[in-house]
């Protein structure tokens, strides 16, 4: 049987607010996305994932939904969605929506009715709990964005649970009517012809019904900057990540697979080991990604090797693979020194396109963009507002796409952009890179096209061969093809011993920088070799 379209596909993530603005209001929109479809097609992408497009008060910029069955007016409304969807079908691009079903905005009519308590039909559609005797919150759960994950509401004289902002109350998936309403959201958009969904915090649909405290992570296991954030000092096993969450994901998958040829994958931002429970060939979601690579700043071979050795013990899991998105520092900034580094960008892209999984490519990654510059008066993200300057939040990775170097705002908008366009990004604009055969953009196009002709890199299994301080080597294989992939992830020359693997036909794939000699491969800094084994 042929593999489903999504297995090994390249999915291009569009953060619409920052992609292309068609009407000069400074906010990207769906007509802007439509105007750039030729660009996305030229990349070689198979599908487009749109970050949330629903009406929202934008406290968390679309991840706080106030209406699930509509498209926000600043995005162009439903008419713009229909136009974009129709054109994508015509040109053969799949459309994936970002659905945020673990919580809603506090402006959602469901929450307004839940505030009525027993007077309304939706009393239990959100997670409410009594205060402790001293008036404090019911347990020690902490918000991902800082502070308690509970807020008191005098309308009900109870606390409500919010894993994120106070304005994002947690939907109660233990309430059958609330669960049914959430699943109906998926059916609504599937009937409109979308090809699938990315589910936000798919590990967090269920909470512990006994509201037990999360246990602490022992201090000796808190070693990196990641643990500086207070919520990361807890093991998140009661506010989310419950094993029974899989039953909910089974229901989600059944809804999606009730429509022909559709795809659903999830974000699993905590407890990465649970991907084996939450994703499977016959259970849970069809695919998903953890933050193993997204949180990593080392670019160490051992990180990639350990992750795929873990997955190979769970062969039922087909992962998504991604190095960057709207929530984390961009690849070049995280793995490099914060400055433009086209060599690093090309190597990271080669690795991304070589690893096993469905590729999630974040807008601007194909240009080699790093994080945009953000000053204190430009902060829009609530995380940056809380922690600036220790952390600038997520605004740096959300700054607008540069399209035309010589145009105002690099061609993103004719108005004032909602986030600043980094002046350094203008020099990396798409129109400049289009004209440069050696650009990161043209490298991305060439590499994606070459990957299509190497089936083992698209749907093959993966076997880790070496993970030293410098070298990451692995084999991708199908019954018909075996491909050797060797990467020097360091900035010093390195050698990979071939052993008995001497009959190898190199592909024109990746940045090059290798040579045969002395029974091995010599690799220059930030280089890669991809070749077919006889």
Look at the block and give the residue holding tokens 């009661």. Answer: 238
Closest C-alpha among 1, 154, 47 to residue 448: 47
372-394: burial string, b at 16+ Cβ within 10 Å, e else: bbbeeebbbbbbbeebbeebbbb
Q: Cα–Cα distance between 390 and 382 in angstroms, integer?
A: 14
User: Is residue 447 within a helix (H) or strand (E), and if so which, with residue range?
Assistant: helix 440-452
Return d(Cα 216, Cα 162) in angstroms, integer: 20
Angle among Cα 350, 355, 356 to the nearest 5 degrees reads 150
200 catalytic residue (yes or no): yes
Please give the Cα distance from 335 to 323 (Å, whole number): 10
Catalytic residue among 270, 341, 365, 422: 270
The dihedral through the CA atoms of 293, 298, 303, 305 has a sign that is positive
Beta strand extents in 75-126 (DSSP E only): 94-99
CA dist., res. 230 & res. 129, Å (int): 23
**CA–CA separation, 400 and 417 (whole Å):** 8
Catalytic residue among 200, 277, 381, 395: 200
Give the C-alpha separation, 468 to 91, whole Å: 44
397 labelled catalytic = no
Nearest to 22, CA basis, from 34, 31, 9: 31
Cα 129 to Cα 147: distance, rounded to the nearest angstrom: 17
Nearest to 114 by CA among 210, 205, 178: 178
Q: Which residue has the tokens 């910029």?
A: 61
Q: At what angle do helices 440-452 and 342-354 cross, to 10 degrees?
A: 20
Alpha-carbon distance 190 to 357, whole Å?
24
Q: Where are the beta strands (DSSP E) in 322-414?
A: 358-362
Query: How many Cβ atoms from other residues are within 10 Å of residue 433's Cβ?
Result: 24
The H-or-E segment that residue 441 falls in is helix 440-452
CB 50 within 8 A of CB 98: yes
Which residue blocks in 202-313 are alpha helix, DSSP H? 245-257, 275-278, 301-312
β-strand pairing of 471-478 with 461-467: antiparallel
Q: What is the strand order of the sheet 494-497 is part of? A: 494-497, 520-523, 514-517
- Give the position of tokens 């190597």: 347
Q: How far apart are CA 187 and CA 197, in angstroms?
A: 11
Active site residues: 200, 270
């Amino acid at each position: 049987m042929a593999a489903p379209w999504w297995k090994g596909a390249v999915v291009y993530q569009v953060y619409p607010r920052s992609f292309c603005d068609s009407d000069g209001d400074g906010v990207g929109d769906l007509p802007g996305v439509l105007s750039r479809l030729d660009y996305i097609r030229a990349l070689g992408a198979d599908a487009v994932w749109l970050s949330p497009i629903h009406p929202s008060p934008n406290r968390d910029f679309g991840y706080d939904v106030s209406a699930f069955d509509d498209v926000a007016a600043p995005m162009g409304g439903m008419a713009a969605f229909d136009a974009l969807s129709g054109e994508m079908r015509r040109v053969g691009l799949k459309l994936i929506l970002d659905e945020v079903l673990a919580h809603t905005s506090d402006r959602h009519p469901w929450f307004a009715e839940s505030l009525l308590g027993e007077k309304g039909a939706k009393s239990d559609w959100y997670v409410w709990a009594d205060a402790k005797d001293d008036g404090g919150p019911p347990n020690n759960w902490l918000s991902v964005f800082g502070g308690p994950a509970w807020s008191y509401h005098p309308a009900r004289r109870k606390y409500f649970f919010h894993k994120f902002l106070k304005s994002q109350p947690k939907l109660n998936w233990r309430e059958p009517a609330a669960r049914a309403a959430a699943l109906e959201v998926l059916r609504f958009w599937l009937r409109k012809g979308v090809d699938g969904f990315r589910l936000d915090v798919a590990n967090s649909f269920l909470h512990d019904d006994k509201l037990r405290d999360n246990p602490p992570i022992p201090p000796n296991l808190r070693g990196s900057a990641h643990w500086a954030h207070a919520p990361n000092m807890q093991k998140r096993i009661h506010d989310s990540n419950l094993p029974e969450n899989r039953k909910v994901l089974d229901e989600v998958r059944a809804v999606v697979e009730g429509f022909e040829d559709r795809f659903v994958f999830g974000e699993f931002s905590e407890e990465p080991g649970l991907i084996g429970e939450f994703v499977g060939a016959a259970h849970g979601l069809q695919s998903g990604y953890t933050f193993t690579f997204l949180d990593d700043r080392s670019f160490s071979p051992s990180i990639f090797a350990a992750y795929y050795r873990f997955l190979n013990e769970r062969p039922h899991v087909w992962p998504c693979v991604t190095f960057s998105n709207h929530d984390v520092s961009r690849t070049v900034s995280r793995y490099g020194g914060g400055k433009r580094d086209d060599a690093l960008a090309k190597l990271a892209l080669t690795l991304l396109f070589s690893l096993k999984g469905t590729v999630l490519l974040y807008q601007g990654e194909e240009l080699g963009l790093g994080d945009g510059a953000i000053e204190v008066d430009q902060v829009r993200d609530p995380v940056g507002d809380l922690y600036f300057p220790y952390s600038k939040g997520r605004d740096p990775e959300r700054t607008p796409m540069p399209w035309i170097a010589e145009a105002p705002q690099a061609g993103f908008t004719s108005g004032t952009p909602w986030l600043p366009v980094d002046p350094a990004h203008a020099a990396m604009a798409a129109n400049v890179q289009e004209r440069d055969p050696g650009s990161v953009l043209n490298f991305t196009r060439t590499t994606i096209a070459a990957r299509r002709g190497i089936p083992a890199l698209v749907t093959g299994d993966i076997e880790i061969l070496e993970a030293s301080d410098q070298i990451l080597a692995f084999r991708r294989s199908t019954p018909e093809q075996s491909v050797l992939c060797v990467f020097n992830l360091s900035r010093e020359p390195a050698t990979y011993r071939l052993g008995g693997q001497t009959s190898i036909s190199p592909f024109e794939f990746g940045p090059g920088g290798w040579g045969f000699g002395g029974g091995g491969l010599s690799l220059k800094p930030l280089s890669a070799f991809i070749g077919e084994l006889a």
